[in-house]
Structure 1
Amino acid sequence: MLLLAGCSAEVQIDEDTATVQGFGKVYIPQANYRPLSATVTLTADEFLLKYNAFYGGMKKAGHRISLSFVTDETLVDEYNEKYGTDYLSLPVGSYEMPNLTGAIESGQNSTPIFNVILKPKGYLEPFKPYLLPITVEAEGAPVNEALQTVYFEVIASFGPGEVPREKILSLGADQRNLLIPFVDGKLIVRDGDGALQLYATDDAGAFGNPVQIGAGWQIFNQIFYFEPDRVVGIATDVIQYQVDGNGGFGSSRTIGWGWNIFEKIFPYKHFLIGVRPDGLTTAYPYNEQGDLDGANIRDIASDWNRYEQLFAYGSSLLGIEADGTLWQIPMSETNMPQQRVQLGSGWDMYQSVVASGNDLLAIDESGDLWRYKFDVKGFWPLKAE
């Protein structure tokens, strides 16, 4: 209880209540955030995690408080069980803690900043989530148990220019090629003559010889597959084609008109999303019967002309800017965009990038098609610094 008896009055503290609230106790301030995320690269560089301890309350320590900092792998298992996560413990050798002990000196209310030195190369695997708990223990003062342990989440990515990729197809340097991800890992490519070529994968994920499934598709500016059984072609009008899993086409019909107002159009879940040249972006509900619901359209962004490419990836969108910066745009349960997160750099080295299942496929100016085993938990810097 704080009693204020005028502007110049002395502040009195109820010591019993203050102790319950954390006054007079040792704690780690970073423990307010669970966990603290640290993204590192699998290089020879060292990375630092910072932490310290405080003495809670309005008074400074009246005597020296000796501290120790410990890690306990059983806390990782407890954390996973409590929050339904799948963290791994940081391997022995992947980190050092030069300051296993410390002190809050008399007349002070905190320790200096201490470092954990991470050495990820040779120890960590890319994109796997690791957890490092650090717990403070004190002599001569109680510890605030609610803020006793800080959890560091560590996720390692490849170093700049070291991101692995696999060449899966050579299409030649015809820049009119259009990539259309299809069912079961298959890929439809519209070639320079407007023919649709269907590529299937073998058990190893390699593409074989194509089968032509259509011709005359050069009339469309954009073509994409929409689950579960439609191919949509867009020029000025939106034309929908029924299609089976082998690329066999059935009936077609026009479901939209005047779509040349959009610079980019792409599917996301049960929506077609159009981006105007000025960046205004509109989502059109697209139902299972293949009809656009014009009565329930809504604008979802005003500046998406910043992206050269946009496409769906799970419950997010991925956007690539002109300078090659790759962004994740998480979508809410109501299918509205949330705060974007940078996931990579250097993606301007490709003419086009599409999502195929969990992978990203990217075609370069030579017509070579590359596969990335993608994961949004990591960072993807394609070019060396």
Structure 2
Amino acid sequence: MIMKHIFKYLMLGAVALLTHACNNESESDLLEPKVYFENKTQMLSIEGETMTVELSSRLTTLSDSPVEVTYAIADKSVVDEYNAKYGTSYEMFDASHASLSSTSSTIASGDIYSEIISVELSNLSTVEEGKSFILPVKVQSNSVPTLPGTDMVFFFISKPVKITTVAKFNSNYIKVPFPAGTYFNSFTYEALVYISRFGSNNTIMGTEGIMILRIGDAGGGVTPEDIIEVAGQQTYKVSDPVQTGKWYHIALTYDQPSGKSAIYVNGSKWAETGWAIPGFDPNADVGFNIGKIPGFQWGERPLYGYMSEVRVWSVARTETQLKQNMLTVDPKSPGLELYFKLNGTDEQAGGYIKDCAKGLECTTNLSIFEELETPVKVE
């Protein structure tokens, strides 16, 4: 019996010592310096032929001795992984057009920041306008570990799209005949919109009474600019009213599996709600129209202003995707069912205009394109 008690206390003591050792190890691990990037992303808007940016890393805590760190451009698989995780479509920036002034740097004893090196990007005139790239750079050290999840910096590289020609809507419209049998379960509407003056209903696009996106529906003491309405489904009261004389990127998304619908303005979610609908037929009732509903018996509800980059998708685009592609998108993107650039390049003749995604021939009275003094800017 005595031996049994002695064994019991020895075991308890061993567990206590093991627990204490683990705690000490945990505390030691927390105090151990680790190297990482303080800023994991840098957004680079490129112009000209070359660009140089600074790069440095840091330690979580001070080190008693100098710490050598090394840098390397990561491979394309890192970009592929990023796209898969966030639903984006970035391309890997050509590593042959990127060079590091040094592949190593030192963090001095008693300091936490490394010496600065530079990253030079070249041949930038060959970068296609509107495309988005990532250059991933990795840091590591032989003397200290890296902080998990922060050992990579992503340089997001793009050449700004400059939209200087837009379509003027002044009782103008585009009537879209989607192929027979078209039915959207999930979908996205999006467009660049500029309001010159408000009417009582300002049609952006959609199927009247079924699924139409417009700004305002006067009445009940609510002024048009205070709301963004999806007629037939939902009226969204906005906290920041839409203004005249200003460009907006406005998007409506519906993800049928989750039943989530959202309004995005300039890439940020302004409102969200739930719908219990299976989807809709864009050819229903008076059909799908952009800019106004021509010949509609209860009023044509025109938008007065300008529009550009009008798109319809058969998928619910994510917030990241909307932000990445406000000013342009690849016409061959999966799920893109209708795309009018409305910058004067859309094929148009004899009262018809073709979209550049599927080549749908749509009727229109759109005849005015206007050159802007300054390019479209979404803030």
Deviation string for 1:135-182 (max 9, x for gaps)?
Answer: 112132222233222222222224xxxx37779x9xxxxx99432233
Q: Matches of 1:78 and 1:225 in 2, distance apart?
A: 36
Matched, 1:104 2:107: yes
Relative to structure 1, the CA distance from residue 310 to residue 274 in structure 2 (aligned partners, 3 Å threshold; closer, same or farther) is farther
Specify the alignment match of 1:44 in structure 2. Answer: 49
2:175 to 182, 206, 209: 182
Specify the alignment match of 1:145 in structure 2. Answer: 148
1:353 to 292, 297, 307: 307
User: After the TM superposition, which residues 259-298 of structure 1 pair with which residues of structure 2 at under 5 Å, given as runs?
Assistant: 269=213, 273-274=216-217, 281-284=226-229, 286-287=231-232
Q: Matches of 1:180 and 1:311 in 2, distance apart?
A: 19
Contact 2:58-2:112 within 8 A present in 1 as well: yes
Taking structure 1 as the reference length, the TM-score comes to 0.50
Q: Matches of 1:86 and 1:103 in 2, distance apart?
A: 35
Relative to structure 1, the CA distance from residue 371 to residue 359 in structure 2 (aligned partners, 3 Å threshold; closer, same or farther) is farther
Specify the alignment match of 1:334 in structure 2. Answer: 273
Deviation string for 1:213-259 (max 9, x for gaps)?
Answer: xxxxxxx887747533x4xxxxxxxxx8x9xxxxxxxxxxxxxxxxx
User: After the TM superposition, which residues 86-165 of structure 1 pair with which residues of structure 2 at under 5 Å, given as runs?
Assistant: 86-119=89-122, 121-158=124-161, 163=162
- Of 89-98 and 277-286, more deviation after overlay is shown by 277-286
Q: Matches of 2:224 and 2:31 in 1, distance apart?
A: 50
* 1:91 shift after superposition: 0.9
Deviation string for 1:248-300 (max 9, x for gaps)?
Answer: xxxxxxxxxxxxxxxxxxx964x652589988603455217xxxxxxx75531
2:67 to 48, 51, 65: 65
Deviation string for 1:61-90 (max 9, x for gaps)?
Answer: 211211110112132233334444432211
Matched residue type, 1:300: V
Q: Matches of 1:151 and 1:312 in 2, distance apart?
A: 28
Q: Which has the higher contact order (CA 8 A, sep 6+)?
A: 2
Matched residue type, 1:353: M
Relative to structure 1, the CA distance from residue 179 to residue 22 in structure 2 (aligned partners, 3 Å threshold; closer, same or farther) is farther
Count residues with an aligned counterpart.
244
User: After the TM superposition, which residues 365-376 of structure 1 pair with which residues of structure 2 at under 5 Å, given as runs?
Assistant: 368-369=368-369
Q: Matches of 2:58 and 2:122 in 1, distance apart?
A: 27
SS of 1:305 mapped into structure 2:
coil
Specify the alignment match of 2:237 in structure 1. Answer: 299
2:81 to 78, 81, 92: 78
* 1:123 shift after superposition: 3.4
Give the structure with the higher percent strand.
1
* 1:104 shift after superposition: 0.7
Q: Matches of 2:143 and 2:204 in 1, distance apart?
A: 67
Q: Matches of 2:119 and 2:252 in 1, distance apart?
A: 35
SS of 1:132 mapped into structure 2:
strand
Gaps of 5+ in 1: 1-13, 170-174, 186-219, 231-239, 243-266, 289-295, 319-326, 336-349, 373-379
SS of 2:173 mapped into structure 1:
strand
Relative to structure 1, the CA distance from residue 382 to residue 117 in structure 2 (aligned partners, 3 Å threshold; closer, same or farther) is farther
Q: Matches of 1:155 and 1:137 in 2, distance apart?
A: 27
Relative to structure 1, the CA distance from residue 282 to residue 332 in structure 2 (aligned partners, 3 Å threshold; closer, same or farther) is closer
Contact 2:226-2:240 within 8 A present in 1 as well: yes
Q: Matches of 1:285 and 1:84 in 2, distance apart?
A: 26
Contact 2:165-2:343 within 8 A present in 1 as well: no
Relative to structure 1, the CA distance from residue 182 to residue 176 in structure 2 (aligned partners, 3 Å threshold; closer, same or farther) is closer
- Of 61-70 and 73-82, more deviation after overlay is shown by 73-82
Q: Matches of 1:80 and 1:164 in 2, distance apart?
A: 26
Q: Matches of 1:281 and 1:91 in 2, distance apart?
A: 46
Matched, 1:29 2:38: yes
Matched residue type, 2:216: I
Q: Matches of 2:50 and 2:121 in 1, distance apart?
A: 9
* 1:330 shift after superposition: 4.4
Gaps of 5+ in 2: 1-22, 179-198, 254-262, 275-303, 312-338, 345-366
